[in-house]
Chains A and B, each alone.
Chain A
């Protein structure tokens, strides 16, 4: 056998060869085993603490617990906004490897549910990966259990029981209470609940105003989860805290009565206690069912609510502003009395009042009384009773706009009644300075005349009118208008608004006459019985009446299209002997105050008188 390096297989001295090569292989094996042991030592000893952390991070996850929202009660302690259980489904991005697949699977399990995969994907990707994103709400028990059965196909998807808001009084309270909906981007920073995408926040009304009180505190828990994110056991938990309750001064039955009375009309009613400023009713019509917002509302429903010409979404008692019309007259009269005008002084009304106006061809401008043929000689009491415009043109001109504005503001006009309601409007009490600042032009005398009968730039809300009347009627005590009980705020400010009760008496007598004396503007709506009401009607124009139109004869309101008819207003109080309530009623495009608003006020007072004046707070102690 030749020994040569050119063999293919060495077939000599095989014994030695095998031993040698097997030895080499064995050394290689020993080397590899050492490497494996070294690797294990590296992973398990050197890097142990590192991997231990990762392992804990794997298995322990943090979940927030949704708090239950605080209950809203009415004056008598009836629950108005409560919470109901609902079945919902959420998804957590970091606990699924494929969000889309999970969603597609969910959709195949719930073919009827409205799952917009693209929309949810967008939402999931825009949020932090550990934030649960709501997929569907308000499932039936059958659907809910179907998900639980198929849970293994739904990585990262969690069926859970959540809360939905339920409004026991429905439409009648919807403007006042408002509703809750998903927390919007702009609210995220100020609302700690935004860590939970399923959490809701108040969007309007009391729900928004008192959201910070109602929302409660998030709880949280640490749980051990398996690889697909399923909870295996709870490690620790801090329970969520239910939001505080809120008690309203509103009496839900009265509120409902007012709302029902407005049915078919567009308008509002505001009822206030003249002694302590508590609002017992703040109704607006037409309305909507606030419970539709607890589910995901369809675009069509929303569009319909927005485009409806009767504006069902607007709270007309605080968010719509109206010229007060003749309801301003008691305040103008008060301003006159304070300016030294005697209530006995008479003015002659021939149906119109003319002032110089060089800008017009005729050289003068004519202001008309509502009564074409005039009222003759009228003093203050008679002027309020019959609502004579010419009388008020003349005294307004004499005392000037600034005095009128000062008195109106003192009684709360042109200022928000409830500081807390975001949707409330403040109205306008115009004066010279206001016009210069807002319109950039000088005040005209004619505008003082318009202001004297509550027209022109004047704008008020129903709530303002009722508050102003209440403070006028309660012998001039400044009230702290109240919608929500809050123990820190006194019911009556330790302050009187006006000095002279004598003047108030004159105004009260005049208002009494306007309702209870024959010829008074609201005489037809008077209440006959132990308790009486008194008040002032108002009709506010929504359009200018041209000279031509006036010459051709006024068109009756009922012959005009709805949008062009005058607003009907009424402010009243009762009982006349010891006033307790003040009411303002506004009927949009109702024609006249005496025809549309006064009868509603009359019915409300009858209702209040029937209740033997028993509206009283029933305090909530244990919730």
Chain B
């Protein structure tokens, strides 16, 4: 069937077998982000645009590094990688950097990183390995409780930072993998039902500002100068953009600072104001294409691990896009999630590139068969 030489292909053949349409779309999105940041900085390249470019290049390096690793090595160290990322989350309360009332960052060799961004992918990695290895006859605890614990631990750690948005993405990413790997749909029904029932209890544990955000989401006019302000201004910016937009660097909402956090979470709004519906539609289509390609590539892998990992990465990516755009258009509460490849933010950029590196690795090594291990 397959030649061993194909499996142990050289670095050159690896680069040759990368799916370039996918990489091309990533690069296009990066340039969209670069253009947006250039507009926000009023044409000044040496601020956000420069750093954004540097991070993207660093991201590309990570992307290729991940590709060059042997997939089986990644499989073998999946739990270790996951464990290390959990450690980095767990130490945050002790050595983390506080900013805006939340402690999310740690400083590694002078670079501030947000471990929760990486955990999204390491969790997928760990779950993929776990689900790859379980058998049909596995008992309840082994097959369900352990992966649930694996999922809940990082979610819990991130909630306490506090960072509800990222915790939600980690949770949804993890849950999506339960689904992909064939968890009986009855459990989903039970799960959704029990979450709905426990919402009033969970509400008690939310911080005041988180409660405010949720309340504001349901009624933005509740506090138009406080929590509702961001979402009102975001909608005004998008809406006033119209079909064709106000023109590049001509957005009044963004350039007069009515838009909050426009270089990070609300960057899509700024693009919508300047490029209109045409612009936002185009960006959404690029994301859709990227996701479609990812799914196609994922399903080409022979091993379950590769499929799980690739689909998981793809799902996390999708959730990112959905939550961010849903948030800035007022469909979801403001939870603070960046728009991948476009938003200014180092950890998010590196983590997403790490994720797509894993996906591409799986694709390149799609014919590798990975044995089940004793989890």
A-to-B contact residues, CB < 8 Å: 1, 5-12, 14, 17-19, 21-22, 25-26, 29-30, 32-33, 35-37, 39-41, 43-45, 47-48, 50-52, 54-55, 58-59, 97, 224-228, 232
Contact = CB atoms under 8 A, between A and B. Distances in A.
Q: Which 7 A-B pairs have the closest CB atoms?
A: A51-B239, A11-B136, A55-B240, A10-B182, A226-B256, A44-B277, A227-B257
A470 to B, nearest CB: 66
Contact of A18 (B180, B240, B242, B243): B180
Nearest to B329: A39
B324 to A, nearest CB: 10
A47 B239 contact: yes
B237 interface: yes
A232 B256 CA distance: 8
B284 A51 contact: no
Given A8-B140, A45-B242, A51 B183 contact: no
B312 to A, nearest CB: 11
Interface in B221-253: 225-226, 229, 233, 235-243, 252-253
Nearest to B136: A11
Contacts of A228: 257
A40 B183 CA distance: 35
Interface residues on B, range: 35 or more
B239 A36 contact: no
B138 interface: yes
Given A8-B144, A9-B131, A48 B239 contact: yes
Contacts of A33: 284, 287-288, 322
Contacts of A36: 284, 322, 325-326, 329, 331
Contacts of A52: 239-240, 242
14 contacts: A1-B136, A8-B143, A10-B136, A10-B182, A11-B135, A22-B311, A25-B180, A25-B311, A40-B329, A44-B272, A44-B276, A48-B240, A51-B239, A224-B252
Nearest to A36: B325
Contacts of B259: 227
A212 B183 CA distance: 84
Contacts of A97: 225-226, 229
B319 to A, nearest CB: 10
B134 interface: yes
Given A26-B295, A45-B277, 18 more contacts: A8-B140, A9-B136, A9-B182, A18-B182, A18-B299, A19-B299, A21-B179, A22-B298, A25-B176, A25-B179, A36-B325, A39-B326, A54-B239, A55-B237, A58-B256, A59-B258, A97-B226, A97-B229
A58 B239 contact: no
Contacts of A224: 252, 256
A97 B232 CA distance: 15
B181 interface: yes
B366 interface: no
A51 B325 contact: no
B180 A58 contact: no
Contacts of B237: 51, 55
A25 B238 CA distance: 29
B187 A44 contact: no
B131 A40 contact: no
Interface in B184-229: 184, 187, 225-226, 229
- The winner among B235, B276, B277, B287 for most chain A CB atoms within 10 A is B277
Given A7-B136, A25-B176, A225 B239 contact: no
A12 B242 contact: no
B299 A51 contact: no
A41 B182 contact: no
Contacts of A35: 331
A510 to B, nearest CB: 81
B224 to A, nearest CB: 10
Interface string B243-286: 10000000011001111000000000000100011001100100
Contacts of A9: 131, 134, 136, 138, 143, 181-184
B182 A21 contact: yes
Nearest to A10: B182
A10 B137 CA distance: 10
Given A9-B131, A14-B182, A22-B311, A41 B277 contact: yes
Contacts of B239: 43-44, 47-48, 50-52, 54-55
B37 interface: no
Contacts of B307: 18
B291 interface: yes
B240 A8 contact: no
A39 B325 CA distance: 10
B166 interface: no
A48 B238 CA distance: 8
B30 to A, nearest CB: 21
Given A17-B182, A33-B288, A97-B226, A58 B253 contact: yes
B318 interface: yes
Contact of A37 (B176, B233, B281): B281
B138 A40 contact: no
B300 to A, nearest CB: 11
B257 A226 contact: yes
B362 interface: no
Contacts of B292: 26
Contacts of B253: 55, 58-59
Contacts of B238: 40, 43-44, 51
A342 B161 CA distance: 112
B114 interface: no
- The winner among B144, B236, B322 for most chain A CB atoms within 10 A is B236
Nearest to B135: A11
